[in-house]
Amino acid sequence: IQVLIYKVKSYLLDLDAVQEKLLGRLIGVEHWRPSKDCCLKINVNVMYHVHSQASCAGIVIRDNQGIVLGLKTDMNMHIPSPFAVVALACLQAITLSLDLGFRYVITKGDSLTVI
């Protein structure tokens, strides 16, 4: 049991050292920027929990001045893969824009997803 306690303490010290190093580095800050192509922009962010197959999508619609015109959060259950999570979130974003009467929008996800 002493070996286990030693390993746990060592692991916690390693985590503290990593956390200190990460706090000192600013990877990048992303700020909202208006779209150059149209008047409305939809931003979509998703979170996915693999074990419970649950996802949450946050959707924000803004005009070219940054004024929020629409906002929605969707919880989804029984989603089989991260790809399906992104596809569903994009569908929900487009559906929200159509429900609000917007016909021409740009939809953006995280830095790796642009639709």
- Indicate which CATH number applies to the domain containing 85: 3.30.420.10
Token pair for residue 22?
């990460």
pLDDT value of residue 5: 74
Strands across the sheet containing 106-108: 68-76, 54-63, 40-49, 106-108
Count the helix, strand and coil residues of the chain and give each as a percent rounded to the nearest 5: 35, 30, 35
Question: Are residues 62 and 45 part of one domain?
Answer: yes
From first to last of its 115 residues, what are the pLDDT tens digits of the chain? 677 777 777 766 776 666 665 555 555 555 656 666 667 888 888 888 888 888 888 888 888 888 888 889 988 899 888 888 888 888 898 899 889 998 888 777 654 443 4
Question: Are residues 89 and 38 part of one domain?
Answer: yes
- Report the C-alpha gap between 24 and 14 in whole angstroms: 16
pLDDT value of residue 111: 47
Map tokens 């192509």 to a residue: 37
Which candidate, 65, 6, 12, places its Cα nearest to that of 41? 65
Question: Are residues 41 and 10 part of one domain?
Answer: no
The whole domain housing 2 covers 1-31
Total domain count, the chain: 2
pLDDT value of residue 16: 67
